Structure 1
Amino acid sequence: MTGRKWTGALLALSLAAAAATGCGSDDSSSSDSAAAKTTSGAATQAAAPAADALGTPKKASGDPIVLGLLNLESGPVTFPEYRQAAEVAVKYINDYKGGIGGRPVELASCATDGQPATSGRCANQIADKKPTAILGGADTGAPGAFPVYKRKDLAYMGGIPFTPVESNAPNAIQFYSVSVGDNAATVQYATKELGVKKAAVLYTDDTQGKATGLGVIVPAFKAAGAEVKGIAVPPSAADLSSAAAAAISTSPDAVYVNTPGACPAVLKALKAVGYSGKIMGIDPCTSPPALKAAGDAAEGLYFAQPFQSVDSGTDDANLMLAAIKKYGSDDIALDSIAQAGFSSVMNVQAELDDVSDLSTKNILAAFKDGQAHKSFLAHDYTCDGKQLAGNTAVCNTYQLIKQVKSGKVTTVDENWVTGADLYKPQS
């Protein structure tokens, strides 16, 4: 389905796939510029710019550099667009950037199902191919693979850090922060720019909902000096009016919606009980299906994303669209997940292109130099282990604040926002 995004993906952590699938491999072939103020829905296909956005061809040759990739593609929640976008980016760098160091890049992929055991089996299969390193993917079962990466001494670069394992592994480089970084940035913007002094947080009453709602959002509001109340929403609740009524009972300046599987219903419930104040939320609340289901109840919702929008008109966005047009298929969902796949490949190529000896030590050193590095479609990243408390592998917490206006997503502030100072890991 289209529109799967950061926090919606985290819901998969509490879902069990019916059965482990086999791991078939598929060997396939930044910027500081401000985002444009108005963009369309992230998962909507945008018109591709002219082919000259790709630049001058520079074909790679010689023995390939193999990068392993584990990606969640079986079960109740899947992210094929991450792999699809990464494959497009690999084809692009092989044809236009000389691959890495003049050598072509080859992805060795394995489909996972969200279960750590399956990811562990996939990691062993990929390790048998003797990859140079691992390209991080969108895999909620990734903790099962990291013991293999440690044993094989493999660096892990990019991807989406759905769990604390990816965010803290000494052999990992994470270009973005999700679940923590986006929510903390939204709270920062709400309190500093929108003047929110009292908030209510509606969160799904399950393991992940509590981890994000009570572990990130509520404490961030408190750290920002705001009064805040958390309201649990039962995962299977049919009537959400009582939760909505509880949220507005203290007359909050803003209501924050952290219910990945029930965003439209919660937003409609808030409107039904007469709430007309500010609303904040998470990325999955703004997917095209969610916006269609919520209708005008989603109007005005603020949220954060780590990327410039694909139709923002920046050089990076135009390049990605041109590459998708040249190498991709029409069914790639151009959402945040796809942007992460494309961006991760571009960042890896940029930093490793002039590293002559691609040992794990040298690969990690290229990123972990404590210096600011350009990030494709995103804010600069610095891998010094100090960007986010309790997340030593995370190199960047900056986000762009976006809002739903007339049923579409718009970038409302061209300045990158971070709420890293509002977050402290729960003891």
Structure 2
Amino acid sequence: MALSLTAVAATGCGSSNNSSSDTASAKTTAAAASTTASTQAAAPSADVLGTPDKATGKPITLGLLNLESGPVTFPEYRQAAQLAVKYINEYEGGIGGRPVKLVTCATDGQPATSGRCANQIADDHPTAILGGADTGAPGAFPVWERKHLAYMGGIPFTPVESNAPNAVQFYSVSVGDNAAMVQYATEKLGVKKASVIYTDDSQGKATGLGVIVPAFKAAGSEVKAIPVAPSAADLSSAAAAAISSSPDAVYVNTPNACPAVLKALKAVGYSGKLMGIDPCTSPQALKAAGSSAEGLYFAQPFESLDSGTPGANLMMAAINKYGGSDIALDSIAQAGFSSVMNVQAALNGVSDLNEKNILAAFKDGKSHDNFLAHPYTCDGKQLAGNTAVCNAYQLIKQIKGGKVTTVDGQWVTGAALYKPKS
């Protein structure tokens, strides 16, 4: 995933509660789609959920900060996490037999707002923090550290979540997915020369110039970088520049302008290999791009929800049972559900849930099952410069017939290609 945000004014935290927040109807943007609406129609029966095992007693409170206000929002993360909590409380005995309670606060992507939200959550004395999809998370970490709270899962949008000593991350985005795509492109698709079109802002540079371009170089490929202004209306010149060197592939790293870039590439006659980022493949983006997106490759950390795997079937059955038909079933939602499931599995046998014991349950150097994703190992060695990231593996997917398909089902890592500047 890659994300481009415009600055917005900081607002107050959303209500902190155990149900839907006031921002539940906030506009969902196409940050990282992995399925289409047709997935829901093929959802499995409730039998997949198993035998009920209802949790009882005093709840275990987990705090959750999530970006739900501003130009880019991710309410689906919280919505899916809440469904997963309902499932584990009714079918998995919660954590250690006790029910889990989510206390949430809506943020706007600004560190100052996330800091205020963190203090509000801290007043509820949570046992730990469930990571969310929050680009302002760096503002909250001083609170988590001061209160000695472990931070588990979520979407590591910034280096803070990926390196905090009190954090464990079950997958990598922005770094892991793009590095894996480059690995596949050079090893399996034979890409020797590539052009990278990136948004000329801080996030675009961090991903385009900090991950994608150096990964191609590390793989031995020639690479040309083409910046695009965030407000650019005419993308034909960028498309023409990208194909002027006759590349084997064009890599599109423009979250908000992806459809326009893909159309521009088609308009200038490009018919070669296309690579892109997760936001390029949302239902809205695919609809806008039309046939220009056909054939586009991208990497994603999760099994598709229409894959028929046990994890995918369970999540879909939970969505059907608990009324999640309005949730945007993208990889952000999968991350919310998956994080809860991983937390339950790791902590179910931990009797004293303090920060030290919680982190030890994950950071034991052993391989753990990762719901919907590749197994994770929290040894600080899975991805250079990302010590809290426990898994850098991704699945390669492709747009065929206007839909997201999984290429071969093989997990790919590009960790060896990523060498962050010291």
TM-score grouping bracket, smaller chain normalisation: over 0.9
Alignment gaps of 5+ in structure 1: 1-5, 30-39
Superposition deviation, residue 23 in structure 1: 3.0
Letter in 2 for 1:281: G
Q: Distance in 2 between matches of 1:84 and 1:251?
A: 45
Structure 1 partner of 2:226 = 231
Matched, 1:141 2:136: yes
Contact 1:379 1:416 in 2 (8 A): yes
2:12 maps to 1:18: no
Contact preservation (8 Å) 2:274, 2:296: yes
Aligned partner of 1:385: which letter?
Answer: G
Give the secondary-structure state (helix, strand or coil) at the position aligned to 1:203: strand
Amino acid of the structure 2 residue aligned with 1:11: S
Q: Report matched runs for 1:267-416 at 5 Å.
A: 267-416=262-411
Q: 2:247 aligns with which of 247, 252, 266?
A: 252
3-state DSSP class of the match of 1:385? coil
Contiguous gaps of at least 5 residues in structure 2: 21-32
CA contact (8 A) 2:10 2:113 kept: no
Secondary structure in structure 1 of the residue aligned to 2:410: coil
Between the aligned partners of 1:138 and 1:43, the Cα distance in structure 2 is 21
| Number of the residue aligned with 1:185 | 180
What is the CA–CA distance in structure 2 between the aligned matches of 1:131 and 1:154, rounded to whole Å? 8
Query: CA separation in 1, counterparts of 2:293 and 2:246?
Result: 19
Q: Which residue number corresponds to residue 425 of structure 1? A: 420
Q: Which amino acid aligns with 1:183?
A: N
- 1:46 maps to 40
Secondary structure of 1:374 counterpart: strand
Identify if the C-alpha distance between structure 1 residues 109 and 352 changes in structure 2 by more than 3 Å, giving closer, same or farther. Answer: same
Deviation at 1:22, TM superposition (A): 3.1
Deviations 1:240-286 (A, max 9, x none): 11111110111000000001111111011111111110000001111
SS, match of residue 11 in structure 1: coil
The reply to whether residue 27 of structure 1 matches residue 18 of structure 2 is: yes
Q: What is aligned with 2:163?
A: 168
How far off its partner does 1:17 sit? 1.9
Contact 1:72 1:78 in 2 (8 A): yes
2:103 to 105, 108, 111: 108
Residues in 1 aligned to 2:13 and 2:300: alpha-carbon distance in whole angstroms = 33
Q: Aligned pairs, how many?
A: 408
Q: Secondary structure at the match of 1:340?
A: helix
- Is the CA contact 1:71–1:138 (under 8 Å) kept in the aligned structure 2? yes
> SS of 1:415's equivalent?
strand
Deviation at 1:412, TM superposition (A): 0.5
Structure 2 length-normalised TM: 0.95
> Is the contact between residue 34 and residue 331 of structure 2 (CA under 8 Å) also seen in structure 1?
no
Q: Which moved more, 1:366-375 or 1:234-243?
A: 234-243
Deviations 1:36-73 (A, max 9, x none): xxxx9525352221110001100000000000000011
* Equivalent of residue 209 in structure 1, options 186, 204, 207: 204
Q: Quick one: distance in 2 between partners of 1:157 and 1:124?
A: 18
Displacement over 4 Å in runs of 4+:
none
SS in 2 for 1:86: helix
Looking at structure 2, the residues matched to 19 and 115 of structure 1 have their Cα atoms a distance apart, in angstroms, of: 6
- Is 2:78 aligned against 1:90? no
> Distance in 2 between the 1:347 and 1:22 partners?
27
Give the Cα–Cα distance (whole angstroms) in 2 for the partners of residues 306 and 341 of structure 1.
13
SS in 2 for 1:134: strand
Letter in 1 for 2:279: P
Match of 1:56 among 51, 56, 59: 51
1:295 Cα offset (Å): 0.8
Q: Which residue of 1 aligns with 2:30?
A: none
1-side partners of 2:40 and 2:193: how far apart? Answer: 38
| Paired AA for residue 403 in structure 1 | Q
* Larger RCO: 1 or 2 (CA < 8 Å, sep 6+): 1
How far residue 376 of structure 1 moved from its aligned partner, in angstroms, is: 0.3
Residues 357, 401 of structure 1: alpha-carbon distance in 2 compared, 3 angstrom cutoff: same
8 Å contact from structure 1 (residues 198, 254) kept in 2: yes
| Residue number in structure 1 paired with 2:69 | 74
Looking at structure 1, the residues matched to 74 and 153 of structure 2 have their Cα atoms a distance apart, in angstroms, of: 15
Residue in 1 that maps onto 2:28: none
How many angstroms apart in 2 are the aligned matches of 1:177 and 1:193? 22
Asked whether the equivalents of residues 21 and 74 of structure 1 are also in contact (C-alpha less than 8 Å), the reply is no
* CA shift digits 1:296-326 (9 cap, x unpaired): 1111000000000011100100000000111
Q: What SS does structure 2 have at the residue aligned with 1:25?
A: coil
Q: Could you give the per-residue CA deviations for residues 323-366 of structure 1, whole angstroms, max 9, x where no partner exists? A: 01111332100100000000000000000000111111000000
State the alpha-carbon separation in 1 of the partners of residues 163 and 254 from structure 2. 26
Over residues 138-164 of structure 1, what are the superposed CA-to-partner deviations in whole Å (9 max), with x where a residue is unaligned? Answer: 001000000000000000000000000
> Identity over aligned residues, as a percent?
80
- Find the aligned partners of 1:344 and 1:269 in 2 and give their Cα distance: 38
Give distance in 2, aligned partners of 1:82 and 1:295. 27
SS of equivalent to 1:68: strand
